[in-house]
Amino acid sequence: MSGNGNKPRIAAASAVLFALLASIIIRSYSLAAGDGRQLYDDPAVSISTVRGTIYDRDGEILAMQAPDYGFTISPAGDAAMEAAFISRYTRESAISIEAKIDSGVPFIPITMIPSSDAADEIRKEISGSRLDGMISLARREARKKMTDAAFIGDVDSSLNGISGIERLCQESLDAVPSLFRDVAYGRDVYLTVDIEAQERLDSLGIPGSAAVIEDGAIIAWSGPMSSTILSSLVREVKSRDGVSFYKGSPLRLALDTIEGESGLAYYASRSGYAESIAEAFGDTVIS
């Protein structure tokens, strides 16, 4: 009798578990399909992940993930009409844009980041015109670099690091999607680089990369940078909530050293570069 009385409870519990399992499966499928949060009509690319940011020693951003806004183009549309509309939101002429559309370019960036209200107005204007179905307002996730320094590196179309710090710290910077979060964030990487000093070094026109690696020490490197040199530039790796996963100290590199009057030590891989760097910083080299 008591056994039969438990059957409704077991059935109810089974129903709850089944509903929970079904919701997880549906959630998994919606995430795999982009869950409506797609970049530019590409179902294989989702904006549910945000790559970690690369900072300099003082917390200035060196590279970050940020969206490009623009228009997706229908290959079956009227190129002249599309170009005339898009040119209102770019610095390009309608003729130049039309040429891009005719050549098969699927995405034309705009030169401003619209507010949500402005974006809604653009969408309304498109939907109420003959352009509806030809073009649409879209956003595309991209990697923005605040410096041209080669050691920062580059990412591929999927925002995976392919060179420099971007590749060296790929495992830390990469964000892993989760079934339990709408957005997953990669860890942030802090370098020993000082962006202001970096800009002064870049102004020298030294081929290759250059970076501050610690107080009073500057490295100017000509040619490809090894992983050893790149790793010496990484000071710390943190999660978005500030938890440190790695905290290292820069490596001293066996390079030519020249002491300046200010006490700065200039490290360079080629003779003559150290003097040039010291001169750029207004320092007098002690011979």
114 domain-assigned: yes
239 domain-assigned: yes
Q: Give the ranges where the chain is alpha helix by DSSP (H).
A: 2-32, 79-86, 94-102, 116-127, 164-168, 170-173, 195-202, 227-232, 273-280
Final residue in a domain of this structure, among 128, 145, 162 = 145
**CATH number, residue 91:** 3.30.1390
Say if residue 42's pLDDT is above 90. no
Q: Are residues 80 and 168 in the same domain?
A: no
Report the greatest alpha carbon distance in the chain. Answer: 101
> Which residues make beta-bridge pairs with 257?
267
Q: Are residues 258 and 151 in the same domain?
A: yes
Q: Are residues 136 and 184 in the same domain?
A: no
49 domain-assigned: no
Q: Are residues 24 and 107 in the same domain?
A: no
Taking the C-alpha atoms of residue 203 and residue 282, their distance in angstroms, rounded to an integer, is: 14
154 domain-assigned: yes
β-strand pairing of 135-145 with 256-259: unpaired
β-strand pairing of 217-221 with 234-238: unpaired
Q: Is 220 helix (H, G, I), strand (E, B) or coil?
A: strand
Residue type, 266: Y
Task: Dihedral sign for Cα 269, 274, 275, 281, please.
Answer: positive
DSSP symbol at 208: S
Predicted model pTM: 0.67
228 domain-assigned: yes
Say if residue 43's pLDDT is above 60. no
β-strand pairing of 135-145 with 188-191: unpaired
Percentage of residues of the chain with pLDDT beyond 90: 31
Within a 10 A sphere around the Cβ of 12, how many other Cβ atoms?
10
What band does 63 get if pLDDT is binned at 50, 70 and 90?
Answer: very high
Cβ-contact 230, 164 below 8 angstroms: yes
Final residue in a domain of this structure, among 126, 145, 164 = 145
Q: Are residues 91 and 176 in the same domain?
A: no
β-strand pairing of 209-214 with 244-247: unpaired
Q: Which of these, 17, 49, 48, lies nearest to 30 by C-alpha position?
A: 48
Q: Are residues 252 and 168 in the same domain?
A: yes
The pLDDT score that the predictor gives to residue 33 is 32
Q: Are residues 156 and 273 in the same domain?
A: yes
Q: Are residues 209 and 275 in the same domain?
A: yes
pLDDT tens digits, 76-110: 889 999 999 999 988 889 999 999 999 999 989 88
User: Bigger pLDDT: 15 or 251?
Assistant: 251
User: Bigger pLDDT: 37 or 143?
Assistant: 143
Provide the number of structural domains found in the chain.
3
Final residue in a domain of this structure, among 99, 117, 145 = 145
What would the two tokens of residue 128 be?
């109420």
pLDDT tens digits, 157-182: 899 999 999 999 999 999 988 777 77
Say if residue 222's pLDDT is above 90. no
99 domain-assigned: yes
Q: Are residues 70 and 193 in the same domain?
A: no
Q: Are residues 197 and 73 in the same domain?
A: no
Taking the C-alpha atoms of residue 117 and residue 25, their distance in angstroms, rounded to an integer, is: 35
Residue ranges making up the domain that contains 69: 61-145
